Amino acid sequence: MKNFVKEGQKLPLYGIGPFLVYGMVVLTLIGILMSGNVLKSGILGGNWILFFRIIGGVLIILGLIIWFIGALRSGMDENISTNKLKTDGIYAWVRNPMYSGIWIVNIGISFMWHNAWLLMVPFLNWFIMTIVLTNTEEKWLLDLYGEEYTAYKKRVNRCIPWFPCQKKQK
């Protein structure tokens, strides 16, 4: 994938991202389309509708915020073009905030349909995201940054944003 910003840049700007995001969105849409017909038995009614829609709305907003910070407010493009590992800001909370944001938005969208069967879709998307990232971008980053990236992986979660871990003192 040749989407470099400048000469000497060692990582593509977009990586596998567009393909991974499209795959997650398509899987979510297939689940939604099936929820009205094939998976109709999972549709929840009553108070569950409101509960799922509130949770879905919160997750959509949270996912958009995470994606926005990772994609547009983090300065990641500069780090990629200068071959520096980004480990601060939102990247201290999650290694892949853009993918995580889209994943969380997809979870929120799934919740909006208040179908219990759709609760499987986020796990399938997480599994796919983990397999794809482990076999592509994480290998590229390990080859480029070595021990620095290995230490970063130990401190920061791949897909689920979490409080930054402090470095262990020896």
User: Does residue 5 form part of some domain?
Assistant: no
User: Does residue 4 form part of some domain?
Assistant: no
At 6, the pLDDT band (50, 70, 90 cuts) reads low
User: Does residue 162 form part of some domain?
Assistant: no
User: Does residue 165 form part of some domain?
Assistant: no
Whole-prediction pTM value? 0.83
User: 76 φ, ψ to 5°?
Assistant: -60, -35
At 12, the pLDDT band (50, 70, 90 cuts) reads low
At 1, the pLDDT band (50, 70, 90 cuts) reads very low
CA distance 85 to 149: 8
Domain range holding 52? 17-155
Record the tokens describing residue 153, joined without a space.
Answer: 């992986």
Write down the residue that tokens 């409080």 correspond to: 163
Structural domain count, the chain: 1
- Say yes or no to pLDDT of 126 above 90: yes
Task: Identify any residues that bridge with 43 across adjacent strands, giving them in sequence order.
Answer: 115
pLDDT in tens, 62-83: 999 999 999 888 888 777 778 8
CA distance 115 to 32: 9
Cβ neighbors of 66 (< 8 A, separation 6 or more) are: 90, 94, 97, 100, 101, 104, 161
pLDDT in tens, 15-28: 777 889 999 999 99
User: Does residue 44 form part of some domain?
Assistant: yes
Contact between residue 159 and residue 100 where contact means Cβ atoms under 8 Å apart: yes
CA distance 140 to 6: 18
What is the pLDDT at residue 166?
A: 65
What is the pLDDT at residue 170?
A: 43
